[in-house]
Structure 1
Amino acid sequence: MNNETWVVAGQGLSSRIGGKLLVHCFVMMFLGFCGGFVWLIALADNVLHILPMPRFEIPVPDQKELLRNAHVGPLMNSMYVMAMVLLSSRLHFSMRQAQWFYYAAIVMLWGNAIGYATAVYAPERGLQPIGDWPNLVSYGTFYVAVIGATITTGICLTNALRAARG
């Protein structure tokens, strides 16, 4: 990607870079919808019954709050990145900022998606670096996602302040 055009003057991220990032966002949306489907099954006491199909008993973890998070978290993160991509034309990223933004956004998206999914199986919910492997994976991916969110938000905030000052 070294020879790639990252930004286009007056347009923000190039169509190719913005498009690649939006692909990640839509994949996260799909994963969030899957999490919502599992949450729905949990709310229906492990039953999937969509007429005219027969009734199915599907055991899912009894962690309704964490299943809700696995639904809402990826959706919210993907919408956040989508908003930043669409606002990139007003934020006037440099090439270096665009590169940092791109990779940090991907880390944020995937880190949160993996963290929310593994937290369902982690007794500590990924909030502390202790316990079994699902908790450690959840904690680690949430940790890197926070770094990604901080970088993307910091770049956007810096450029928004610059734009506001004229």
Structure 2
Amino acid sequence: MQMFSRSWVDEGRGFSREVEAKLLIHCFVMMFLGFTGGFVWLIHLAENVLHILPLPRLEIPVSDRGELLRNAHTGPMMNAMYAMTIVLLSPRLALSARQAQTAYYAVIVTLWGNLIGYSTAVYAPERGLQPIGDWTNLVSYASFYVAVVGVVIATGIYLFNALQIARGTR
């Protein structure tokens, strides 16, 4: 069963418009979720207070791990920008349909893996850096792990094509 009604790539254009749009949807959702993480970080910086005039002042307890809250804001945003760059560079790197499909799924795994990893790391004693500890740490670690695999695959595809174009073999 084919996921898209159109092809993965348009000749001389990179990703097809439908594939670009679907990948960009993930990017914009990720940016929105990154904004949400920034809002939580802002509450932390304001010492667990949310006060937006004319609304009453609200005390909202959030984690005291400010660095990890900041990461839950900036991480998804940076990954979304990486994915947008993947979309923008696809016409220049002459992706095959198979490469486009692989890069597409690798980028989606990267986006969502990092979002889950950054979000759960706030509550994980080991910050998801080692495969030990409680379930939040294991979820964070596994999410980061698959995200790294995804970004290495997508970047590898783009590097391979860039090298071929630079050498004049593509």
* TM-score, normalisation: structure 1: 0.98
C-alpha separation between the residues in 1 aligned to 2:73 and 2:115?
Answer: 9
Alignment of 1:86-165 (within 5 A): 86-165=88-167
C-alpha separation between the residues in 2 aligned to 1:89 and 1:4?
Answer: 17
C-alpha separation between the residues in 2 aligned to 1:162 and 1:50?
Answer: 54
Runs of 4+ in 1 over 3 A off after TM superposition: none
Q: Which runs of 5+ in 1 are unaligned?
A: none
User: Which of 50, 74, 77 is residue 75 of structure 1 equivalent to?
Assistant: 77
* Structure 2 counterpart of 1:22: 24
How many residues were matched structurally?
166
* Structure 2 counterpart of 1:44: 46
SS at match of 2:71: helix
C-alpha separation between the residues in 1 aligned to 2:79 and 2:164?
Answer: 25
8 Å contact from structure 2 (residues 109, 147) kept in 1: yes
C-alpha separation between the residues in 1 aligned to 2:55 and 2:129?
Answer: 40
SS at match of 2:132: coil
Corresponding letter in the other structure for 1:9 = E
Percent identity reads 70
C-alpha separation between the residues in 2 aligned to 1:48 and 1:132?
Answer: 31
C-alpha separation between the residues in 2 aligned to 1:3 and 1:10?
Answer: 19
Shift of 1:51: 1.3
Shift of 1:164: 1.8
C-alpha separation between the residues in 1 aligned to 2:4 and 2:83?
Answer: 22
Shift of 1:148: 0.1
Corresponding letter in the other structure for 2:70 = R
SS at match of 2:54: coil
8 Å contact from structure 2 (residues 6, 16) kept in 1: no
